[in-house]
A and B are shown apart, each in its own frame.
Chain A
Amino acid sequence: MADLRCDFVGIKSPNPFWLASAPPTDKEYNVRRAFEAGWGGVVWKTLGTDPPIVNVNGPRYGAVWGADRRLLGLNNIELITDRPLDVNLREIKAVKRDYPDRAMVVSLMVPCEEEAWRAILGMVEETGADGVELNFGCPHGMSERGMGSAVGQVPEYIEMVARWCKAHTRMPVIVKLTPNITDIRYPARAAHRGGADAVSLINTVSSITGVDLDSFSPEPSIDGKGSHGGYCGPAVKPIALNMVAEIARDPETRGLPISGIGGVTTWRDAAEFIALGAGSVQVCTAAMTYGFKVVQEMIAGLEQWMDAKGHANLDAIRGRAVPNVTDWQYLNLNYVTKARIDQDVCIKCGRCYAVCEDTSHQAIAMKPGRVFEVIDAECVACNLCVNVCPVENCITMERLEAGALDERTGQVVRPEYANWTTHPNNPMARAAE
């Protein structure tokens, strides 16, 4: 049986599944039940200074749904914890005492003053917590007060606060990044320079989930008005994966531990984050959609896959995909594929035909009897037909071996790797050595 034990910057947990800082971790009652359900750790809902903030008293969440009202994206305008600091600290201490084997990280957000950070760090240390996460990510509400993403969007502030925190605590410091920036590498480098032990990402993406077409109010609507919220859930996973990968492969931050967050809903999502370099993963929306029990599927699925592939422990998979993330300019232009339609499983819906004919390269022929066939002389291998086909593995991409004729270009497929940097159409091309 694969070993799922996780050691993230010295913070140990029986598995890499942590609950992200959010409502699921906002009180003792929740966290105890989460641990009973099997979660490896939690990042406690972000603490601030007293008096506690207040939340809106109308809807906090908006959503985007797929088929059968499956929740694909969630948006929130909730702020950090609205409970008194001492209550949270007392509860953190009690839970950590009863669950010493679980990761207990405490999320923090206080004004950008050294003294404020020093004070709260001392109080957290007192609870026996394993580490702190600096919330530089909330894109709504707190940012208007100079905190959250207002800090996370200025690399200099990130570096400064990280440095203060490192100076004032012996606990590992994780910096939680906001995705609401243009290039995630800058804030990550800043955290690294400030001495942070790790980064976690992503926090939520600024968003409006919809507009009520009767009242013309953005959703969620508070008395006819709306404010942008933070988007999370399955819809943001691709954005998060890319940001994690960018940090993992950036020469300046390579090796910096990453806690992957954003749309983790199944074991597979988690495995992908880990393969792109995440040391642990954090989950919020999946728990808020299905309850704490989902972690059992995540654990079982990850174990089963690791066993099937012979991966003994998390070290065996962590970062395995990172070397394969590259720049576009280095992709092999001599890798030529063609779409292939398996007539035995084709159900003749014609979606591939509609999209290729209308929006791509007119590379699918519709023959009598609704038989759909790829015209190799036109197929550019874009993959669109594969993506819209409702039957898995009905359309696949087949590689043309070296020496085969690509009927579209009229050229023989060459065996060697060749990319844009040496392509004759590239004005900046360097001669291949």
Chain B
Amino acid sequence: MKLMQPADGSGVGPRTPGVAAGRLDAEALARNFDDIAPPLSDHEALVAADRCYFCYDAPCITACPTAIDIPLFIREIATGAPEAAARTIFDANILGGMCARVCPTETLCEQACVREAAEGRPVEIGRLQRYATDILMAQGEHPFSRAGATGRRVAVVGAGPAGLACAHRLAMLGHDVVIYEAKPKGGGLNEYGIAAYKTPDGFAQAELDWLLGIGGIEIRHGQALGRAVTLEGLRAEHDAVFLGMGLGGVKALGLGDLEGVRPAVEFIAELRQAEELAALPIGRRVVVVGGGMTAIDAAVQSKLLGADEVTIVYRRGRDRMAASGHEQEHALGAGVRIVSGAVPVALHGEDRLQAVECAYTRDGSAGLEVTGERFTLPADQLFVAIGQSLAGVPDGLAVEGGKIQVGAGGRTGLEGVWAGGDCTPGGEDLTVTAVAQGRDAAMDINAALTGAGAARAAE
């Protein structure tokens, strides 16, 4: 793991009590939040690409939610045509640049790689994807052009991965798109959620600008559905509506309010938007509740900011955590402690949090049971990462398991309304899944708008 040094001079360091800013000096922070997987050099990429067997009907393609033709793009890299490789990637996944950085490849394409089965060392698909996409994106020009204008207008709600993938594909097919976005910046969780060291140097905004280079997409910020605009209004003014608003709400712990307790996503968003990491306060002792990527990211980044002790408390066994083994290892390597099989049962502290009381759990006949065996973790901060939830579903949409119900192609029950990404069920809540669903919905919208779908149905 990266080095951590106490800040010089100020007297503030990892062991300073309470919640404090500047536990590490600027240099250590810069190092800690630097690119976690630096780009491959040309030679490294050639060597890595050469390991691909160009499998028939390759399992990695099946394992990629966006079904990128992986053997083809790797062969294109191997033969010295990285721009062609990037085209192959973007054809399937316009956010291939971000996905190359954030996809848990160890549970997706690289898990399916035959070399993973053969020797426990898959082809480095993610890093190769980054290599190719970086090269093409650095050239500044947008690689796609739009089909002739159809005169159709589509509203997209949310400029996250789902909304952007949908908008880009629609724009490419000749439709005009308006994205209604609640926040001041686009990108969704790419901008506000993903761990900082996975996408440093403002990549999320750079990618967004590059994507918009296709033309025909207008983003209107501060336009929250349910407040500034209504679904009825959007339907009236557009030929179709795509909902890609993700999961805006957070699940609460239900142990009362106390200063020092906050949703992990809020802390992460603040961190992602921080001008200066040294100004960001962090506790000496931090507890994170949850078992997913958000919990891991909150814990690791707390540690990287200089927290002295960081503990993840997860209610079941580690094998049941939503975070992959690779991510768990990453957290452990960063010095995070993972306590599994336990839940917080009480928060202690006068005006602010001082300790989290937990109880061990066991699998009982009625599911998970809390035992009487308890322990207490001193804590200055508690980040809650037990899941996000759908916020403000417009009337008329069926909700299933806390998500907007959709059929094939992302069609909702409402005529002319599609949805995709985290706000819908199906697949894991991942950037790449959101991209796939946004893209597929765009194809379905296009079919509906141009009559291709109707024509096919008639055949």
Min Cβ gap A278→B in Å is: 33
Min Cβ gap A424→B in Å is: 39
Please give, as numbers and ranges, the residues of chain A lying within 8 Å of B43 by CB-CB distance. 69
State the B residues within 8 Å of A (CB): 43, 46-47, 50, 53-59, 114-115, 117-118
- B115–A67 touching, CB < 8 Å: no
- B59–A391 touching, CB < 8 Å: no
CA distance A353 to B50 in the complex (A): 20
Please give, as numbers and ranges, the residues of chain A lying within 8 Å of B54 by CB-CB distance. 351
Most chain A Cβ neighbours within 10 Å, of B43, B56, B58: B56
- B50–A68 touching, CB < 8 Å: yes
* Residues A343-385 near B (CB distance < 8 A): 347-351, 353-354, 366, 370
Partner of A348, one of B46, B47, B50, B59: B59
- B50–A349 touching, CB < 8 Å: no
Partner of B56, one of A67, A347, A354: A354
10 contacts between A and B (CB under 8 A): A67-B47, A67-B50, A68-B50, A69-B46, A347-B117, A347-B118, A350-B55, A351-B53, A366-B56, A390-B53
CA distance A353 to B57 in the complex (A): 10
Q: Given contacts A67-B47, A68-B47, A68-B50, are A348 and B117 in contact (CB under 8 A)?
A: yes
List the 10 closest A-B pairs by CB distance, nearest first.
Answer: A350-B56, A354-B56, A347-B118, A67-B50, A349-B55, A347-B114, A349-B53, A349-B114, A68-B47, A353-B56
A69-B46, A347-B117 known, 5 other contacts, Cβ within 8 Å:
A347-B114, A347-B115, A350-B57, A351-B56, A366-B57
Least CB separation from A67: chain B residue: B50
CA distance A67 to B45 in the complex (A): 11
- B56–A349 touching, CB < 8 Å: yes
Min Cβ gap A304→B in Å is: 26
CA distance A151 to B50 in the complex (A): 43
CA distance A347 to B56 in the complex (A): 12
Please give, as numbers and ranges, the residues of chain B lying within 8 Å of A69 by CB-CB distance. 43, 46
Min Cβ gap B69→A in Å is: 14
Please give, as numbers and ranges, the residues of chain B lying within 8 Å of A349 by CB-CB distance. 53, 55-56, 114
Please give, as numbers and ranges, the residues of chain A lying within 8 Å of B118 by CB-CB distance. 347, 391
Least CB separation from A345: chain B residue: B118
Please give, as numbers and ranges, the residues of chain B lying within 8 Å of A67 by CB-CB distance. 47, 50
Min Cβ gap B120→A in Å is: 12
Partner of B55, one of A68, A351, A391: A351
CA distance A354 to B54 in the complex (A): 10
Least CB separation from B117: chain A residue: A347
Min Cβ gap B362→A in Å is: 37
- A370–B59 touching, CB < 8 Å: yes
- Report the tally of A-B residue pairs with Cβ distances under 8 A: 35
Please give, as numbers and ranges, the residues of chain A lying within 8 Å of B58 by CB-CB distance. 350
Min Cβ gap A410→B in Å is: 30
CA distance A347 to B53 in the complex (A): 11
Please give, as numbers and ranges, the residues of chain B lying within 8 Å of A391 by CB-CB distance. 118
CA distance A347 to B117 in the complex (A): 7
CA distance A353 to B56 in the complex (A): 7
Please give, as numbers and ranges, the residues of chain B lying within 8 Å of A348 by CB-CB distance. 55, 59, 114, 117
The number of chain A residues touching the other chain, given as a range, is 10 to 19
Please give, as numbers and ranges, the residues of chain A lying within 8 Å of B50 by CB-CB distance. 67-68
CA distance A78 to B16 in the complex (A): 71
Min Cβ gap A370→B in Å is: 7
CA distance A67 to B55 in the complex (A): 17
CA distance A370 to B56 in the complex (A): 10
Most chain B Cβ neighbours within 10 Å, of A68, A349, A350, A351: A349
CA distance A370 to B46 in the complex (A): 28
CA distance A402 to B59 in the complex (A): 40
CA distance A370 to B58 in the complex (A): 10
Please give, as numbers and ranges, the residues of chain B lying within 8 Å of A350 by CB-CB distance. 55-58
Please give, as numbers and ranges, the residues of chain A lying within 8 Å of B46 by CB-CB distance. 68-69
Please give, as numbers and ranges, the residues of chain B lying within 8 Å of A354 by CB-CB distance. 56
Please give, as numbers and ranges, the residues of chain B lying within 8 Å of A370 by CB-CB distance. 57, 59
CA distance A366 to B57 in the complex (A): 10
Least CB separation from B47: chain A residue: A68
Please give, as numbers and ranges, the residues of chain A lying within 8 Å of B59 by CB-CB distance. 348, 370
Please give, as numbers and ranges, the residues of chain A lying within 8 Å of B53 by CB-CB distance. 349, 351, 390
0/1 interface trace, chain A 56-70, chain B, CB 8 Å (1 if under): 000000000001110
Min Cβ gap B70→A in Å is: 13
Please give, as numbers and ranges, the residues of chain A lying within 8 Å of B117 by CB-CB distance. 347-348
Min Cβ gap B337→A in Å is: 38
CA distance A69 to B44 in the complex (A): 11
Least CB separation from B62: chain A residue: A370
Please give, as numbers and ranges, the residues of chain B lying within 8 Å of A351 by CB-CB distance. 53-56
CA distance A350 to B46 in the complex (A): 23
Min Cβ gap A369→B in Å is: 11
Least CB separation from B71: chain A residue: A349
Min Cβ gap A219→B in Å is: 15
CA distance A405 to B119 in the complex (A): 38
CA distance A370 to B114 in the complex (A): 11
0/1 interface trace, chain A 39-82, chain B, CB 8 Å (1 if under): 00000000000000000000000000001110000000000000
Min Cβ gap B80→A in Å is: 10
CA distance A347 to B122 in the complex (A): 12
Least CB separation from A357: chain B residue: B56
Min Cβ gap A431→B in Å is: 47
Min Cβ gap A85→B in Å is: 44
Min Cβ gap B40→A in Å is: 14
CA distance A172 to B416 in the complex (A): 93
Min Cβ gap B81→A in Å is: 12
Please give, as numbers and ranges, the residues of chain A lying within 8 Å of B47 by CB-CB distance. 67-68
Min Cβ gap B60→A in Å is: 11
CA distance A237 to B270 in the complex (A): 64
Min Cβ gap A252→B in Å is: 46
CA distance A68 to B55 in the complex (A): 20
* Residues A131-179 near B (CB distance < 8 A): none
Min Cβ gap A359→B in Å is: 12
CA distance A349 to B56 in the complex (A): 6
Least CB separation from B115: chain A residue: A347
Please give, as numbers and ranges, the residues of chain B lying within 8 Å of A366 by CB-CB distance. 56-57
Least CB separation from B53: chain A residue: A349
Least CB separation from B43: chain A residue: A69
* Residues A307-354 near B (CB distance < 8 A): 347-351, 353-354
0/1 interface trace, chain A 381-401, chain B, CB 8 Å (1 if under): 000000000110000000000
CA distance A349 to B58 in the complex (A): 7
CA distance A130 to B97 in the complex (A): 66
Min Cβ gap A141→B in Å is: 31
Most chain B Cβ neighbours within 10 Å, of A350, A354, A391: A350
CA distance A366 to B55 in the complex (A): 13
Min Cβ gap B84→A in Å is: 15
Least CB separation from B49: chain A residue: A67
CA distance A69 to B57 in the complex (A): 28
CA distance A69 to B80 in the complex (A): 13
Least CB separation from B50: chain A residue: A67
CA distance A113 to B418 in the complex (A): 90
Min Cβ gap B74→A in Å is: 13
CA distance A415 to B151 in the complex (A): 77
